[in-house]
Amino acid sequence: MTDEHPPDPDGPLLLVEDLALLLADDSTGTPAGASTLHCSLGAAVLVELALLGRVETRQKSWLSGVVVHATGDGPLPDPLLQEAYDAIAAEPQPVTSLLMTIGADLWTTLLHRLADRGLVSQEKGRFLGIIPTTTYPATDDPYEPALRKRVADILELGHEADARTAALIGLVSASGTLPSLHPQPRWSGTIHSRGKEFEKGEWGAEALGTAVLQTAAAVAAAGAAAVIAGTTSPRP
């Protein structure tokens, strides 16, 4: 996925950018859950489109599974979202295919966007003094610690979650990386259970009867299934 037109540096972060912050190692920027990263990132973009009311899901058949269709019209607030939406508008596609299409090359783009916002820094070096390396350590910007605390308060203390943060937690849980979040929340059986609730789209009373959030939950659940399939399928 390309990002030919930079986003507004003063605008809110996308859901997928928040996910990238949580998955990235604060010292190096290396992502947790790298083997299924494309599924996690692609799902985050689709969930954001669903929360904006710009996609809907339909169960086409047992073979095709959940198919994503574009809805609504008008420009989207970010070129990354616009590119994904345009691909869906051109042809409805199974969610599993879209996860690869959207998420395959997205990590590097996200690191550059986060660096442009001052949330990570780009540092070049050489491994053993020979091999060029680039790392993306977290900066001292307060945004990420506040995000992690919000997630921890929901999982550890049972604070109420808005739909967007609930979706974020569900995506992290689906990626299998919830135990590795650092420095918070602290991993426990309760955290595991709470994460699974969000992963399944159980986002509280706010989601009841709301078509947009039900669509987002369906996308998140399909993304979780794709992640699980990717981690359990036999490798050649």
pLDDT tens by residue, 74-108:
999 999 999 999 999 999 988 878 888 898 889 99
Round the average pLDDT of the chain to a whole number and report it. 81
pTM reported for the whole predicted model: 0.84
Contact residues for 140 (Cβ-Cβ < 8 A; gap 6+): none
Collapsed DSSP state (helix, strand, coil) of residue 29: coil
By mean pLDDT, which of 79-83, 149-153, 198-202, 203-207 is the weakest? 203-207
Residue 102: CA atoms inside 13 Å, Cβ hemisphere, count?
Answer: 31
pLDDT class of 197 with cuts at 50, 70, 90: confident
> Per DSSP, what are the bridge partners of residue 68?
57, 93
Strand 123-127 vs strand 65-70: parallel, antiparallel, or unpaired?
unpaired
188 pLDDT above the threshold of 50: yes
162 pLDDT above the threshold of 70: yes
pLDDT class of 14 with cuts at 50, 70, 90: very high
Q: In the 8-state DSSP scheme, what is residue 120?
A: B
DSSP 134-183: EE--B-S-SHHHHHHHHHHHHHHH-----HHHHHHHHHHHHHT-GGG-SS
pLDDT tens by residue, 44-74:
998 899 888 898 887 765 555 678 899 999 9
Identify the top-confidence range among 44-53, 79-88, 124-133, 175-184: 79-88
